[in-house]
Structure 1
Amino acid sequence: MSLQNTFVQRTKLFVINVIKLYKELPNTTEAQIIGRQWVRCSSSVGANYRAACRARSQKEFSAKLSIVAEEADESIFWMEILIGVEIMSMEKLNYVFKEARKF
């Protein structure tokens, strides 16, 4: 499997794992608001990486990859908030937290 295909699979798995964790959030207003933001930016990681793979130029590829990094960082932010307000534990988020840092 090529490096590009490996990243396509990893970013897709990242989104799937975030969605599974989102489903475990309590049904409180704050948890759902934070969770929706988290799912949006996390899913953008995968979608923008796929778009980068279809870039027509190196400049376009670099621009799309910078969006991937930005969305991964935002995903980390929302996980930090979930941990900070004690909605989810670091142990629960550990895998996706580490994965987001790699993008």
Structure 2
Amino acid sequence: MTADQLKVRTKLYSLAIIDLVEKLPITTASKIVAYQIAKSGTSVGANYRAVCRARSDKEFIAKMEIVLEEADETLFWLEIIIDKSWINKTITEPIWKEGNELTAIFVSSLKTVKAKLL
């Protein structure tokens, strides 16, 4: 997968997270979760764009670790939404799957670049 393809994929992931947030019930707790997942979920794509501008392997690693942290946080908030049954699983499952796939890609990329530095 090219960097441009991953840019598109992370942007689509951000849009899916926004759509999910708009489907959440309006309660005190869900508003907090909605805010958190909107922030972390859209940060995945935004920060991945910064990764693509990295000027060195060390800068790539530092920026990619931020992307990975945001992706993992998004999965946490998705777990909360799923466990609370706030949204039908037909909506959450594809987003969960994509979040896991993106996380795996980020982990793999980090391992590859870190191995180069050894």
TM-score (structure 2 length as normaliser): 0.81
Show structure 1 runs of 4+ deviating over 3 A: none
87-96 or 49-58: bigger deviation: 87-96
Q: Which residue of 1 aligns with 2:77?
A: 78
Q: Does 1:87 align with 2:86?
A: yes
Shift of 1:62: 1.2
C-alpha separation in 2, matches of 1:90 and 1:66 = 29
TM-score (structure 1 length as normaliser): 0.92
Q: Which residue of 1 aligns with 2:51?
A: 52
C-alpha separation in 1, matches of 2:54 and 2:89 = 35
Shift of 1:59: 0.6
The amino acid that maps onto 2:65 is S
Cα deviations by residue, 1:15-50 (Å, 9 ceiling, x for unpaired)? 001101111111111111101100100111001100
Q: CA RMSD in A?
A: 1.2
The structure with the larger Rg is 2
Structure 2 unaligned spans of 5+: 103-118
Structure 1 unaligned spans of 5+: none
Identity %: 43
The amino acid that maps onto 1:50 is R
- The aligned length equals 102
